Structure 1
Amino acid sequence: MKPILQNLVEMTGHRDHLRLEVSVLSTLQKLSSIVEVRALELFTHAGVPHVRPRTWVDNGNLVSTDSEAAADPRREPLDQYPALRECVAAHGDSALSSPRRGRHVLWLPVWMQDKVSTCLEITQSRPFSAHKLDVLKGVFQVYQNYQSLLDYSERDALTGLFNRKTFDEQFSRHASALASSNTAAISESFAPEDGPLPSEPVQQWLAVVDIDHFKQVNDRFGHLYGDEVLILIANILRSSFRSHDRIFRFGGEEFVVLLRSTTLSTAHRVFNRFRMAVQEYNFPQVGAVTVSLGFVSTAQGSPVEILGQADQALYYAKEHGRNQVCFYDDLVSSGHLAAKVANDDVELF
């Protein structure tokens, strides 16, 4: 029991979902008879539920991936895991299966906000005893509760989107990986009708979104209706982008989107599709609302510089008519914005 308690102390010392996931699998791996542990990611691709390993054991070490799930060649249809599929459909807390002699599998779905996107998979060489199941579920419950606490601390209380603190942590940590990743496949929902041009590289994009004349909404209708507008905009953002894109509320009426693994022409189309969805939505009491958006590639520059360039494009959009999408590089090449670089120093404003 003492080693388990020590591992639980270590596990709850982490402040990152992926590290916490690795830690709980490390704890479970040390229990007797366990032959394999994995964390599976559940997602939908082309309308079909899939599963793929996100953390697993490789040569005795636990390794993880944060790559796009839909492009992972190891993904499998959830139908190949019938016990897990039935458990998720029934909102169950566990599933057992014995696919062959000497292989007994336990799945523990991680339920958060009535949804499941992660599942722990534990395989051992003999059937699970009642006592073993109690121990495993006890460790898992601590892990799930702590995941919920982390998730709560990472999100904006009003909209449920990731908050500014989470953006600062995630973008600083992954900026270089996002910039160099250009091989991920494009989701079907974002694929251009005729397919992307072969010469167009797949990149990552950062967009800053601002609600036009939001102060007038608060002044005219009150903050309760202003909050409702923010919540509805957040819902439109969720429905406009893919599960592996990231959406943040920066505070006030400003949001940030990290659009992953797509081309410039597709980025233009997707951002404008979101803008039109807002324009065409009938907000209760308030009526019509529009947004302005500025975006930039994350391929070059520090996180602060990239965010500053997206802000410049946003402010240009707001100062030149609002309700439009502006790409930073286009504004610079057309002479509407000047790149503020001198003597290798970057001036941000």
Structure 2
Amino acid sequence: MDSLLKHMVDMTGHRDHTMLDISVISAVQELANAGCARVLTLASVRGHTYVRSRAVVVAGQPARMEEGPDPASPGEPIEKFPVLAGCIARHEASAEHLDAEGKRTLWLPIWLGDKADTCLEIIDPTPYTPDTVHVIRGIVSVYKNFQNLLDYSERDSLTGLLNRKTFDDQLAKMLQTSSAEQDSLTLPPGEPERRQHTDQEQQWLAVVDVDHFKHVNDRFGHLYGDEVLILIANLLTSSFRAQDRVFRFGGEEFVVLLRSTTLENAKMIIDRFRMNVEQHDFPQVGKVTVSIGFVAISAYEPSVVVLGRADQALYFAKSHGRNMACHYDELVSGGLLHAVESNDEAEFF
């Protein structure tokens, strides 16, 4: 009982999804005396469901966040896990499977309404007693309720996207990741810290603005304006990858953090979204377009500078025809924007 209470206190003390994941799998692994426990993401991509591990704990080892071999991949098709697939299709609370090698797997989807984006997986050769399953389900209920509380504080009420308050934390984490990657490189003597961006994998920030949105509100009313924002949010979610993060900044402005990709891939992913919006038929309103500015995230510059450069590229797109995606560094190297220091303001030619 003391161990259970300790885990409950630990779980409810976090204000971060990552630490909550670590806490819940540590709790279920210890209380079930399991060999392994994981938090799985169930991602829907173009009508297909994929399974991706995001946190894991193995008996005798500390829990850790997990990144697959290919960060761009949504994971493995759920069809590779037929028992779990059946559980999800039937909206069941749990599923258990014993394979030919005697490995017993218990899956516990986290249902929010009729949708499950997260699933706990517990693996051990020993059968799970009814008392153990009862305790684990209690932990899952606490985990689900606390996930809901975190989501409520982190998400925009209209679109369901992450909100601006959450953006600061997410960008700070990406800057730390970028800093760690840079620190692993040895700089040649005399080389400046800020490097020219290459086609190596980097983190990216994109600012998205809906073109002529005031005209939509003035002509069709705010209800249709809100519907446009909701549909744009849906297109953002479906156009970007499972590991990318999408935020509503307020009004008609959105921000995307793209993780670990090259410049060419970033261009392709961003322009795919722009074209998806351009080709979408918005009810009553008709055609809507977006303008986008994006930039590579640098560990050597503060977040306000990174965001400011993406904004500069966005405003260039807005003032040069709209319905465009512009890369800050390409604008600078092409002589279309002045390169500015951190404490300067941008100016267009």
Is the deviation greater in 168-177 or in 13-22? 168-177
CA drift at 1:103: 4.6
Deviations 1:206-227 (A, max 9, x none): 1101111212222222211111
Task: Supply the distance in 2 between the matched residues of 1:289 and 1:101 (Cα, whole angstroms).
Answer: 55
* 2:309 alignment partner AA: Q
Q: Is the 1:33–1:126 Cα contact (8 Å) retained in structure 2?
A: no
Within 5 A, what are the aligned runs for 1:178-197?
Answer: 178=178
3-state DSSP of counterpart to 1:138: helix
- Other-structure match for 2:34: 34
Identity, in percent, stands at 52
Q: Is the 1:35–1:124 Cα contact (8 Å) retained in structure 2?
A: yes
- Other-structure match for 2:262: 263
Within 5 A, what are the aligned runs for 1:50-199?
Answer: 50-58=50-58, 60-65=60-65, 67=67, 70-71=70-71, 78-99=78-99, 103-112=103-112, 114-124=114-124, 126-178=126-178
Gaps of 5+ in 1: 183-198
3-state DSSP of counterpart to 1:207: strand
Q: Is the 1:212–1:322 Cα contact (8 Å) retained in structure 2?
A: yes
- Other-structure match for 1:229: 228
Deviations 1:275-318 (A, max 9, x none): 22222323222222221111111145222211110001111111
CA drift at 1:205: 1.7
Q: Is the 1:275–1:290 Cα contact (8 Å) retained in structure 2?
A: yes
Q: Is the 1:22–1:62 Cα contact (8 Å) retained in structure 2?
A: no
- Other-structure match for 2:339: 339
**Superposition TM-score, scaled by structure 2 size:** 0.83
Task: Supply the distance in 1 between the matched residues of 2:180 and 2:46 (Cα, whole angstroms).
Answer: 26
Task: Supply the distance in 2 between the matched residues of 1:216 and 1:47 (Cα, whole angstroms).
Answer: 33
Q: Is the 1:108–1:121 Cα contact (8 Å) retained in structure 2?
A: yes
2:326 is the counterpart of 1:326: yes
**Superposition TM-score, scaled by structure 1 size:** 0.83
Deviations 1:35-66 (A, max 9, x none): 43222334468987554433223572333235
CA drift at 1:86: 1.8
Task: Supply the distance in 1 between the matched residues of 2:111 and 2:91 (Cα, whole angstroms).
Answer: 8
Is the deviation greater in 47-56 or in 279-288? 47-56
Gaps of 5+ in 2: 183-197
- Other-structure match for 1:313: 313
Q: Assess, with a 3 A threshold, how the Cα gap between structure 1 residues 180 and 277 changes in structure 2: closer, same or farther.
A: farther
- Other-structure match for 2:247: 248
Q: Is the 2:174–2:203 Cα contact (8 Å) retained in structure 1?
A: no
Deviations 1:222-279 (A, max 9, x none): 2111111111111221222122211111000000112233332332233233222222
Q: Is the 1:43–1:69 Cα contact (8 Å) retained in structure 2?
A: no
Which consecutive segments of 4 or more residues in structure 1 shift more than 6 A?
44-48, 179-182
Task: Supply the distance in 1 between the matched residues of 2:276 and 2:131 (Cα, whole angstroms).
Answer: 53
Q: Is the 1:181–1:261 Cα contact (8 Å) retained in structure 2?
A: no
CA drift at 1:181: 6.2
CA drift at 1:106: 1.8
Task: Supply the distance in 1 between the matched residues of 2:283 and 2:114 (Cα, whole angstroms).
Answer: 27
Deviations 1:86-112 (A, max 9, x none): 212222110122336875432111223
* 1:265 alignment partner AA: E
Q: Is the 1:25–1:38 Cα contact (8 Å) retained in structure 2?
A: yes
Q: Assess, with a 3 A threshold, how the Cα gap between structure 1 residues 122 and 130 changes in structure 2: closer, same or farther.
A: same
- Other-structure match for 2:210: 211
CA drift at 1:5: 2.1
